[in-house]
Structure 1
Amino acid sequence: MDILRTELIELSASHGTDVALQPDDVFRKNKRLVVFDMDSTLICQEVIDEIAKYAGVVDQVAAITEAAMNGEIDFKESLRRRVTLLNGTSVSVLETVKQNLTFTEGARFLCRALKRLGFKLAVISGGFMPLALYVKAELGLDYAFANQLMVSSDGLTLTGETTGPIVDGIRKAELLDVIAQAEGITLNQVVAVGDGANDLPMLNTAGLGIAFNAKPRVQEQARARINQKSLKYVLTLLGYSEKDMEQLSREN
């Protein structure tokens, strides 16, 4: 299977097409839960990089983010380093960043369509809860999990620390399983969508893991990949045609 996937990826790259390799079984036709990464998946930005712009540490944070997404640095360590650089930043920055987020093309349509089709939806992010909750509300998702930033005793500034378990790659896979169990859904019926190295455990845990405009390492290891601007093509991998999407668009 791995050899076949590698050959298909090489062939698709040479022809500028996308590829998905799925077992032909009953679960392929009965997906019920879709779990998304947030940064550079549901939204166009990397949230911590946006916060860093206001904290005056954008270059340092962006370099660590890029290394983490490429799998060059352990995610937990990279998060600690980046959050430390935000010490003393005003909490109001989170609201500013929230108001300037842009959703990935097709994200709103995809989530509306999936809800109409009866799917449960979740965002599991290595970013931060205030932004994940905003995305959850805007897209009508059922679940949101992310890291929690600590604030000063007066509630005005970030302390440069997080509280609670860090949502790294392993934690993402664990949370996917928690949601599936809570909904009575088997892992074979789960779809996961992400772009970074810290998404790989989640992508490999789900019945269908989709690398969306992902880093090279992720594209090589994921069972399916989409290299298009729009998230709507997730529906294609779930077996829905352009005609189906047109109907869903009219009814949304």
Structure 2
Amino acid sequence: MSHILTLVAPAGGLAAATLARLRASLTALGADAGTPDWLAPEEAADIPFAGLSPEQAMAAATAALEGAPIDAIAIPAEGRRKRLLLADMDSTIVTSETLDELAAYAGLKEEIAAITRRSMNGELDFRQALVERVGMLKGLDVAALEETWAATEITPGAGALVATMRAHGAHCAIVSGGFTFFTGRVAERLGFHAHYSNTLGVADGKLTGRVEEPILDRDAKLATLKRLSAELGLPLSATLTVGDGANDLAMLGAAGLGVAFRAKPVVAAAARARVDHADLRALLFVQGYRASEIVAG
């Protein structure tokens, strides 16, 4: 079969009857649909198919699922496992927007979070919004950085995603419009090979309100993907990117597999692949990893 439709649900949320219904839907559209193959019992399964485009298969799945909390992603069967993972950090690898959480220590969380939401939905220029938000934090004691990090939570499945891809020879990196203070710690905790992000200005133990140049903006994410691919000798088809905000769209569109993870509306509407319900292990299942192959992270 030329393509694979992968279905992933929160644990226990995928039934054999659902797979049978989806297979029948593909067949009704003229596809040659194979027997479903469980990757993780009642959680993830593949349906191989031919005769439809990935977009047609996912549209059929969306209709057949009728709003059930199940993610459906269709990709070519060839080259399914990727050799480079490039991941956004905020609201992707970690559950929060670290700049918004940092702003809480200046009593500005709601004000700054409102700007963040508009920026991540593509309503504001990313660079200008970043500079504006950091400027509002001028004079904040650097101790707030440590307090913010102590409260930062890793997204479920992130550790397994990195550990499993590393174990199978993939290069894993973070690229973030956030800050090195956080990306460095996340990279160390989860085992990313590298991290790329912005640097907060600090003087005399306080934030200066400036973002040090060069600023990593939305264009830099795509540039990082292309640079790493070239350095590793990989075609873009062998890459996997994941993110949630408008500044991730370019790298999601350029990668062999670009996944919008619980994304902002503008990103969800534009992305070819979405994970709205499952955790980050869904990115492993889409690559064909079975539960027995997943490495705990």
TM-score (norm 1): 0.89
Return the structure number with greater helix share.
1
Whether 1:58 aligns to 2:58 is no
User: Which amino acid letter does the alignment assign opposite residue 133 of structure 1?
Assistant: G
- Cα drift, residue 210 of structure 1: 0.3
Distance 1:14 1:172, change over 3 A: same
Higher relative contact order (CA 8 A, sep 6+): 1
Distance 1:89 1:193, change over 3 A: same
Distance 1:8 1:143, change over 3 A: farther
- Cα drift, residue 29 of structure 1: 2.6
TM-score (norm 2): 0.77
Return the structure number with greater strand share.
2
Alignment of 1:53-202 (within 5 A): 53-152=104-203, 154=204, 156-202=205-251
Decide whether the 8 Å contact of 2:55 with 2:74 is kept in 1: no
2:266 to 217, 233, 244: 217
User: Which amino acid letter does the alignment assign opposite residue 248 of structure 1?
Assistant: I
User: Which amino acid letter does the alignment assign opposite residue 184 of structure 1?
Assistant: G
Identity in percent: 37
Alignment match, 1:234 = 283
Unaligned runs of 5+ residues in structure 2 are: 1-52
Larger Rg: 2
User: Which amino acid letter does the alignment assign opposite residue 108 of structure 1?
Assistant: G
Alignment match, 2:40 = none
Distance 1:217 1:4, change over 3 A: farther
Measured against aligned partners, the alpha-carbon deviations of 1:154-211 in whole angstroms (never above 9, x if no partner) come to 3x11111111222222111111111111222211100001111111011011111001
Whether 1:245 aligns to 2:291 is yes
Decide whether the 8 Å contact of 1:22 with 1:223 is kept in 2: no
Decide whether the 8 Å contact of 2:100 with 2:112 is kept in 1: yes
SS in 2 for 1:209: strand
Alignment match, 2:99 = 48
CA distance in 1: counterparts of 2:272 and 2:57, whole angstroms: 7
Unaligned runs of 5+ residues in structure 1 are: none
Distance 1:182 1:86, change over 3 A: same
